[in-house]
Chain A
Amino acid sequence: MILVVLPAHLRTLAKVNGDVQLEIQGCATQRAVLDALESRYPMLRGTIRDRVTLERRPFLRFFACEEDLSFASPDAPLPEAVASGKEPFFIIGAIAGG
């Protein structure tokens, strides 16, 4: 089980109140997490990754275990603490605008 923390606007869009728990088959990677997230909440397609290229949207970041994983390969294994559900996988909207 993997715990995903969504930004407030995406929680509203997906109609979830808190964090999201996902079961991942096989190796827990960014791609696997996002595939599972979008499968359960189709309305999130295109909001985190580009709808066509599947690249991370530029004003979003992926954090976990006090590290910025945004530029890691989407197929790299996530930290064990994330894969085991001990630490959440954060999807963060950039704080910008002054």
Chain B
Amino acid sequence: MSSVRVLVGTRKGAFVLSADGKRERWDVSGPHFAGWEIYHMKGSPADPNRLYGSQSTGWFGQLIQRSNDGGKSWEPVGNKFAYDGVPGTHKWYDGTPHPWEFKRVWHLEPSLTDPDTVYAGVEDAALFRSTDGATTWQELPGLRGHGTGSSWQPGAGGLCLHTIILDPSNPERIYIAISAAGAFRTDDGAKTWKPINHGLHSQYIPDPDAEVGHCVHHVAMHRAHPEVLYMQKHWDVMRSDNAGDSWQEVSGNLPTDFGFAIDVHAHEPKTIYVVPIKSDSEHFPPDGKLRVYRSRAGGNEWEALTRGLPQRDCYVNVLRDAMAVDTLDSCGVYFGTTGGQVYASPDAGENWTPIVRDLPAVLSVEVQTLS
């Protein structure tokens, strides 16, 4: 029988939540790495027992953890993230040049085919890759060096590379996103990159239609339609039907188009989910109601999903990497909040229940569907 493993990164440790395919009774394991921030954990599609985790604190810096047994045991592996060559500068908040400085790993993306290959998106924004199970890391310097890197400027959360999407139909194609530079694509295995931000409109930057400088919060893709991308921008929900070459706004009837998380149904490539957040200064849901919005049309037409979610006095946030789906026949949708709840819906969003209610603030949620 199939089962599900939910990997939860929090401000004070990692948790592994497990259930059988019914997704009714959950076993909670953790905290692993108690007291440390776990920005992200993710399992290898090629070997589900191989997990990678990003562990850090302001005191002790960055560690990478690896598990070979599905999260029962872990070992620290390589944590040397050295920028390629002379790092140069990007723009600081005040517009002055600022040296590139490694701070932390925001996102780990294991290869679709090789358990020992994994990509790391870091702050200050750069893309690293390991081909030896995260023992050693090499920067893929074509991204920072493609020409606009010196003009990238951090968002409020830092200059972070937070999204990495590997195209299952084309091993040479990778998408990444950076706050607050925008989205980028390579078609030659990360040697060269180009900004893919045409159609994004950001009124909070000097040129609202600039090639780079947009605060992209998250991007999602369906494996069956890898040329279709969905984006939650700082403001605006966007869709691209041509691999990011151009974007159109699909915010439609959302109560607010600010937010962080966005994901796609496992079996319906046009069914997408977002969690609208009131504004960039009020990082909580509008009207104190926690609502997931679903569009079955690839955006524009949205319906609120509320059954089982708090509909009064709720003022949590859902961060960019804190939503995921499983691939069971009835697609499960999961998200975690800064209030420490992890909600699960075993029926594509119709009904929600909390798996856990009182974890530390949730930074990331990833799901593995195990056979």
Residues on A lying within 8 angstroms of B by beta carbon are 7, 9-10, 13, 43, 45-48, 50-52, 57, 59-60, 93-94
Contact = CB atoms under 8 A, between A and B. Distances in A.
B260 interface: no
Contacts of A48: 60
Given A9-B35, A46-B63, A52 B58 contact: no
Given A9-B36, A45-B79, 17 more contacts: A9-B35, A9-B60, A43-B63, A46-B62, A47-B61, A48-B60, A50-B61, A51-B61, A51-B81, A51-B82, A52-B80, A52-B81, A59-B59, A60-B59, A60-B60, A93-B60, A94-B59
A47 B80 CA distance: 11
A91 B167 CA distance: 45
A76 to B, nearest CB: 24
Nearest to B83: A52
A46 B80 contact: yes
Interface residues of B, number: 15
A46 B59 contact: no
Contacts of A47: 60-61, 63
A52 B36 contact: no
Contacts of A46: 61-63, 79-80
A97 to B, nearest CB: 10
B79 A52 contact: no
Given A47-B63, A57-B59, A57-B61, A13 B76 contact: yes
B271 interface: no
A78 B61 CA distance: 25
Interface in B310-345: none
A51 B59 contact: no
Contacts of B76: 13, 43
Query: Chain A interface secondary structure, helix, strand, loop or mixed?
Result: loop
A24 B60 CA distance: 24
A59 B59 CA distance: 5
Contacts of B36: 9
A71 B174 CA distance: 44
A9 B57 contact: yes
Contacts of A13: 60, 63, 76
A48 to B, nearest CB: 8
B83 to A, nearest CB: 8
Contacts of B82: 51-52
Nearest to A47: B60
A93 B59 contact: yes
B102 interface: yes
A51 B80 contact: yes
22 contacts: A9-B36, A9-B59, A13-B60, A13-B63, A43-B63, A43-B76, A45-B80, A46-B61, A46-B80, A47-B60, A48-B60, A50-B61, A51-B62, A51-B80, A51-B82, A52-B80, A52-B102, A57-B61, A59-B58, A60-B59, A60-B60, A93-B59
B351 to A, nearest CB: 39
A52 B80 CA distance: 7
A10 B60 CA distance: 8
Contacts of A60: 59-60
A-B pairs with lowest CB-CB distance, top 7: A47-B60, A43-B76, A59-B59, A51-B80, A46-B79, A93-B59, A52-B82
